Structure 1
Amino acid sequence: MKASIYLVLATLFWSGNLAVGQAAVNTLTPLELTFWRWALAALPLVALAHFVERPDWRAVLGRWRVLLLLSVLGMACYTLLLYTALQHTSALNASLITAANPALIVVMAIFILGEKPGISGWLGIVLGLAGVLLVLTRGELHRVFSITFNVGELLMLGAIAVWGFYTIISRRLGLPAIASTAVQVVMATVLLAPAAIAAGVQFPATAAEGWSIAYIAAFPSLGAYLCWNLALKTTPPATAGNFLNLIVVFTAAITVMMGIPVTLPQAIGGLLVIAGVLLAGRPSRSPEFRPA
């Protein structure tokens, strides 16, 4: 139950990242957003890990190679791809492509980890994707076949592939979740610093830019990555990936808060997504995902 709450919170925070990020890239570059996102989150995460988990830092740093790989994948590459994509496509299209991530993670888990989803897992993914399509097409499913991909959509495809590998590797990490995330964030900050200096990255000059960076550092960075890694301690990658469908529902909710009314297809689609997430995450007597 705790893992499901963590996954819901992570997707909620990432939904806000899409909306805030799309607005922020109008005045800030993807490198600026990515660098400040991790630079501001690094020290709070290290402190949180130290006082909450009290990890054996020597043992954590002993896995520096895999942590460096995860930092490059999940912190640097994924985030740069995401913000660059938002320069060319809408948050709604980005969330549509993110909805393909659960199926991608299932395939990766099968080929890389040898896991096999059970019937309820597959049914949950199908329901979730069906709900996503209803939400995004407003009930006009034929629009799916007329969607064309631009540079932004292609970059998002690359981003979800990177995130799939991040999820698969994180599942087998076996380190304290907060400490692991903290080390990855510190590594990303150090790795991105030379590029940031060379590009002349400066602290946000306006209040709007400052609030955007503050939100991105606090919630999509600290909150979401922490919740995601905590959930992966007990949740198979494919099951966790199915929760990413909630990003579309939360994105739709944000548009409602902005004054855009919700339609019946969107409401039904949202219920299907939630049902799919609950079904995929439902515990069973036999393992939902078992080694081949």
Structure 2
Amino acid sequence: MNKYRVWLLLIVCNLFWAGNYVFGKYVIAEITPLGITFFRWAFAILLLFPIAHFLEKPEWKSVRKVWPSLVIMGILGIIAYNMLLYSALDYTSPTNAAFVSALNPGIMVVSSVLLTKEKISRLQILGIGISLLGVLVLLTQGNITQIFHTAYNRGDLLMVGAVVVWTAYSILGRRLTMIPPITATAVSALFAVIMMAPFVFAQGMDISNLSPLAITGIIYMIIFPSVGSFVFWNISVREIGPGQAGIFLNLIPVFTAVISGILGERITGAQSIGGLFVFAGVYLTTGMLEKRKA
């Protein structure tokens, strides 16, 4: 595939993921985080399984052998991450949530160092520090000197938790090399939906009174972030590898800020400065500057 087509797929993929933050802010006003997560993935698996079957042609016997790991992935990546994300959006802005999520590459590098003894350069250590500084600017709304006296936004702290959970999910997913990624997503989502079902029915959620905006948001989440982004992402990773594809994840906060700005959200100076620090830190942490010098 032409590299420019791959880049286009990655841009669209991250645009869809950015829309999840924005729509999530509206949907959370009418339905609980549990409800959003359940309905989003309950319908998404109806599309993911056929796509996985025809696109990846998995050996289902191999899938059955690693079902415990897929259950854990469902708990972490589908239930815990999405519950934390949508809970965070109940307290903070989509832009702040997206900027905090930009910590993911840096956290992944630190985890690799701790768990696999991977070597890290001084420049990458500097990048991690700059990223953390950027997040502190966001958490303290620019008043970083009052770090121990600030009443932190609960949503921003929940988003930090979501980043940690996603890191654990990603590390586990990397070890399941024998299972194609879309297949692993579909099966882990199925386990997650089964585990969430009793709690959803116990809450007795009534979706008949949802507004057109909320229904549109849920449909968007099902089709675009859950299915479209995963398919485009995995096609791109196969073509150019996870290292180069991962750089494009930094577009999520940018797209989120642009979409939120169009919808009327005011981007503050603290968000702009914090976001720039996060981006600069991620750029150094991923080692891209060192690769360009080499």
Q: Same fold, TM exceeding 0.5?
A: yes
Q: Does 1:214 align with 2:219?
A: yes
- Who is 1:116 aligned against? 119
Summarize the Cα distance change of 1:212–1:143 in structure 2 as closer, same or farther, 3 Å threshold.
farther
The whole-number CA distance in structure 1 between the counterparts of 2:27 and 2:190 is 23
The whole-number CA distance in structure 2 between the counterparts of 1:126 and 1:59 is 41
Query: Is this contact kept in 1: 2:139–2:156, CA < 8 A?
Result: no
- Who is 2:58 aligned against? 55
- Who is 1:187 aligned against? 191
Please tell me the residue identity of whatever aligns with 1:92: T
The whole-number CA distance in structure 2 between the counterparts of 1:215 and 1:172 is 30
Please tell me the residue identity of whatever aligns with 1:73: L
The whole-number CA distance in structure 1 between the counterparts of 2:80 and 2:100 is 17
Summarize the Cα distance change of 1:74–1:25 in structure 2 as closer, same or farther, 3 Å threshold.
same
- Who is 1:17 aligned against? 20
Shift of 1:125: 6.2
Identity over aligned residues, as a percent?
A: 39
TM-score (norm: length of structure 2): 0.77
Shift of 1:202: 3.7
The whole-number CA distance in structure 2 between the counterparts of 1:12 and 1:114 is 34
Please tell me the residue identity of whatever aligns with 2:33: P
Please tell me the residue identity of whatever aligns with 1:210: I
Q: Which 10-residue stretch deviates more, 17-26 or 129-138?
A: 129-138
Q: Which 10-residue stretch deviates more, 2-11 or 175-184?
A: 2-11
- Who is 2:228 aligned against? 223
Shift of 1:107: 1.1
Summarize the Cα distance change of 1:221–1:59 in structure 2 as closer, same or farther, 3 Å threshold.
same
Summarize the Cα distance change of 1:9–1:26 in structure 2 as closer, same or farther, 3 Å threshold.
same
SS at match of 2:119: strand
SS at match of 1:247: helix
SS at match of 2:62: helix
Query: Is this contact kept in 2: 1:30–1:83, CA < 8 A?
Result: yes
Aligned residues: 284
The whole-number CA distance in structure 2 between the counterparts of 1:271 and 1:159 is 21
Summarize the Cα distance change of 1:86–1:230 in structure 2 as closer, same or farther, 3 Å threshold.
same
SS at match of 2:58: coil
Q: Which 10-residue stretch deviates more, 86-95 or 255-264?
A: 255-264
- Who is 1:81 aligned against? 84
Q: Which 10-residue stretch deviates more, 23-32 or 149-158?
A: 149-158
